[in-house]
Amino acid sequence: MRLGLAGAILLIALAPDARADDSACSRNISVVGRAAEARAPDFAEVTVGIEARAPTAAAALDAASKAVAGVTAQARALGVPAADIGTAAVSLQAATRSVSRPGGLTEEPDGYRASNLVSVRLADMGRLGDLLRQALDAGANRIDGVSFGLRDPDRLDAALQVAAARDARGRAVALAEALGVKLGPLCTLGPAGGAPYPLANRTLAAPMAAKGRGVPIEAGTIQMSSEVAATFAVSP
């Protein structure tokens, strides 16, 4: 990791009323250490389903459920475990249509509209395009979004915090050398700039691909970062 002075916060202060137990930190340097890393995601999650209309509530819901059952079967055929397949939403409501009457437009009953959505988490992201294509062939007409993630982001988070702490010390050493002072022990250490955050997330509108053609999907990378604020004592 390259060491630089940019972004470091310099604070050298003398506190005349400092207590004896914190006198070592009365002169200090405060810095912000940073670390970031890009990782390829190890899973993709997609929500697919169908919105169906029919004269009766039962017929509308049955049509939506039949298509979702096909999507679920396709996911299992691709080796997706049952724990990674779950219902995302089910809705049923009366539908209406606008009808022109002598007195103006009126809303009249027009059967029922039902939707059934299922979320699928896929570890083999190379099969995601095939899953989407097969879902459309099974009757799905909604793809609400595709997102990518890490199954164990906490492990990367912890590693980045350690790297950020090392970066903070390196910045403090560089500042102390530039000022001709000696770096002392650590006085304070805490988070800076909020919690680490993932930067890569993608959404996908329902594609209209030619029959049998896989939907092209690019996973990209997920970048996470961490910042820590540290204060070190200094002495002449």
pLDDT of 125-172, one tens digit each?
888 888 888 888 888 888 887 889 998 899 999 999 999 999 999 999
Residues 6+ apart with CB under 8 A from 81: none
Task: Write down the pLDDT at residue 215.
Answer: 67
Count CB-CB contacts under 10 A for residue 148: 22
Task: Write down the pLDDT at residue 168.
Answer: 96
Count CB-CB contacts under 10 A for residue 70: 17
Q: Six-digit token pair at 188?
A: 């304070």
Task: Write down the pLDDT at residue 5.
Answer: 39
pLDDT at 78 over 80: yes
CA 61 to chain centroid: 32
Residue type, 11: L
Task: Write down the pLDDT at residue 158.
Answer: 92
Q: Six-digit token pair at 142?
A: 């909604």
The DSSP code for 125 is G
pLDDT band at 67 (very low <50, low <70, confident <90, very high): confident
